[in-house]
Amino acid sequence: MLQYLIEKEFKQLRRNSFLPRLILIFPCVIMLIMPWAATLEIEDLRIAIIDHDHSPSSIRLTHRIEASPYFKLVAFPETYQKGLEHIERNQADMLLEIPKGFEKEQVNGRPASALVAINTVNGSKGGLGSTYLQQILNPQNTSISVRYRFNQHLDYKVFMVPALMTMLLVMICGFLPALNVVSEKEAGTIEQINVSPVSRFTFTLAKLLPYWFIGFIVLNLCMILSWLVYDLIPEGSILTIYLATLIFVLVMSGLGLVISNYSATLQQAMFVMWFCMLTFILMSGLFTPISSMPEWAQYLTYINPLRYFMEIMRMVYLKGSSITDIASQLSILSCFAVILYGWAIYSYRKQQ
């Protein structure tokens, strides 16, 4: 009986000419565009410099700023007030004023002062810009030896790509099962299953197995793209990633089936699923570290399955972690899988 139900699910997928294309095109678009667009790297900060000193030291400082990849020199205003006008007109992000006697203070062994004004409408951009400029202004920073582990070139795309794989599995393996059952309710075809001798366990398993298959297609496609486009391959074992994916897809598919069992229409299922997905993604550490969240929000992330799979993907992909290293995350995801799958079976109201 299970074989025929699974065959029915795949036939339904093939009959929908748009869905198979979406399963292939959506991951490609996300993997090729999002790592470049969804970045927190700050480059080409527009800076205006007011040089009242016109000394060799101030000129060298200007050249160092101009040579930095983080800054783009846009103007040399004559006064501080004219410099502020560049910021107010959104022609500059930062303003550096070098006072008269800047070089003299340095020659005399005293700390030379300079004024920095920053547009902090975007607080993150302003804060990072200030940090970059302080590193240039403080020559003592050149004596510091720094080693970067796991992301040697500080490339934000390396941080984002494994997380985007997780997001794609959430979107595809969560949404599709939720919409599948509800569409059968609206079409009336589920009534034939309700009066058949198929058990609730078999029906639920038949709904989940195709999305395991789809989930692995999406994962492999993403891994191939990350290798070809970003030259990023897992530092750890691919089998470890497959094991974690096997459990995580069950979690998200189970959640989708639970939502579909309680939804009467496609609109209702889509709204509830989108609310859950948006909450999971924003509170998973995809864009910002969980440690930066308020304490109450950090506690809420413990009931977010996406958080644990996100940690697994980044640990295995970037650090080369083994199953032993991710055992706690796998155990928690397994608990989510058992709970949601059991809930999906219980909530399916079969009439015999």
Q: pLDDT tens across 186-243, in order?
A: 776 666 666 666 677 777 777 778 878 888 888 999 999 999 998 888 888 999 999 9
Strand ranges across the sheet with 115-118: 71-75, 45-51, 94-98, 115-118
Q: How many CB atoms lie within 10 A of CB 120?
A: 14
pLDDT of residue 141: 42
Mark whether 194 and 232 lie in a shared domain. yes
pLDDT of residue 7: 72
CA 8 to chain CA centroid, Å, is: 35
Select from 143, 174, 195 the last residue of a domain: 143
Mark whether 116 and 186 lie in a shared domain. no
CATH of the domain at 59: 3.40.1710.10
What total of structural domains would you count in the chain? 2
Q: Which residues contact 297 (CB under 8 A, 6 or more apart)?
A: 283
Q: How would you classify the pairing of strands 115-118 and 45-51?
A: unpaired
Residue 352 falls inside a structural domain: no
The range of the structural domain enclosing residue 82 comes to: 45-143
Collect the ranges in the chain with pLDDT lower than 50: 140-145, 351-352
Mark whether 215 and 92 lie in a shared domain. no
Select from 143, 169, 194 the last residue of a domain: 143
Mark whether 58 and 136 lie in a shared domain. yes
pLDDT of residue 197: 65
Mark whether 296 and 169 lie in a shared domain. yes
Residue 136 falls inside a structural domain: yes
pLDDT of residue 148: 60
Mark whether 173 and 237 lie in a shared domain. yes
Mark whether 185 and 331 lie in a shared domain. yes
pLDDT of residue 2: 66
